[in-house]
Amino acid sequence: MSATRQKSARAPEGASGTCRNRRRTRGDRQRWVRPFFLANRALDDSLRLIGSTLHTVAVTRRTARRRPLRASRNLSSASDLLFTASVRLLSAACNLEEMTERAEREPETAQHAPEIVANAMERWNFMISWLIETSNEVSALKCSIQDGLETGALVPEQPADRRPRIALAPRPVPVRAFLRLRQPRVHDRIAPLLLRRRRTPRPAGLRVPRRNVQGRAPPLFSLCLL
């Protein structure tokens, strides 16, 4: 019995017939992987921010002549997005540097790290060039709108009128009418409700005569033909 219990409590074996060693050494944990994922996340964030900025620039070019003030405000918001993208790229560079240092400490587990770092650095350089190009485009468009406003080529739009706010004031119940309907007796309060819920009276032709003393109702018509 004891041998059976020991066999059932044993951990499951792998394909090689030996149990999996869950206690790894410190060098096998691949500490350089986490900075790599953080760098990729920062690069993805910067890509999304630059894409949003380009979309704002495209919309601003279409509406700059009709609404130059709003276009200028949108470009200011786009500049803030570019600043956030630059911060993300700086964070990605720091993560790649940390990844390189950790990979040098663990050469036995970082065999593919140099190739991964090279690809990430190539992507980072592309994002930097794209960021500079987008920043120059935003600055040029903003300067052109400001020059148009100063020279009079662009007429600032009129501020939109504020829509009137509709305030729903509660209607107070007249006190006299309330006291008039407020009956002191319970029967007087319920009687109107009972009258409302009462069914529609039946026509006289459909009424059933009441039962007599013997328990049977009289006939509706006379059976005697004489």
Total residue length of the chain: 226
Q: 141, 21, 17, 34: which is closest to 79 by C-alpha?
A: 141
Residue 183 within any structural domain of the chain: no
Residue 191 within any structural domain of the chain: no
Check residues 54 and 1 and name the one with the higher pLDDT: 54
Query: Which pLDDT belongs to residue 99?
Result: 86
CA distances (Å), origin 147, targets 85, 133, 154? 27, 21, 9
Host domain of residue 73: 28-151
What tokens were used for 14?
């792998």
Q: Considering only 19-28, 87-96, 217-226, which range has the smallest mean pLDDT? A: 19-28
State the chain's mean pLDDT as an integer. Answer: 76
Check residues 210 and 18 and name the one with the higher pLDDT: 210
List, in order, residues 6 or more apart from 146 with CB less than 8 Å away: 72
Residue 90 within any structural domain of the chain: yes
Query: Which pLDDT belongs to residue 136?
Result: 95
What are the pLDDT digits (tens) for 152-193?
Answer: 888 888 876 677 777 777 666 565 666 666 667 767 767 766
Domain count, the chain: 1
Query: Which pLDDT belongs to residue 169?
Result: 72
Residue 177 within any structural domain of the chain: no
Residue 213 within any structural domain of the chain: no
Residue 221 within any structural domain of the chain: no
Q: Return the percentage of the chain with pLDDT > 90, whole number.
A: 33
Query: Phi-psi region for residue 161, left (φ > 0), alpha (ψ -120 to 50) or beta?
Result: beta
Residue 159 within any structural domain of the chain: no
What are the pLDDT digits (tens) for 43-98?
Answer: 999 999 999 999 999 999 998 888 898 999 999 999 999 999 999 999 999 999 98
Q: 168, 137, 148, 174: which is closest to 58 by C-alpha?
A: 137
Q: 121, 80, 71, 81: which is closest to 100 by C-alpha?
A: 121
Residue 82 within any structural domain of the chain: yes
Residue 123: pLDDT band (50, 70, 90) is very high
Q: Considering only 17-31, 120-134, 158-172, which range has the smallest mean pLDDT? A: 17-31
What is the distance between the alpha carbons of residues 108 and 30, in angstroms, rounded to a whole number?
Answer: 9
Q: Residue 29: is its pLDDT beyond 70?
A: no
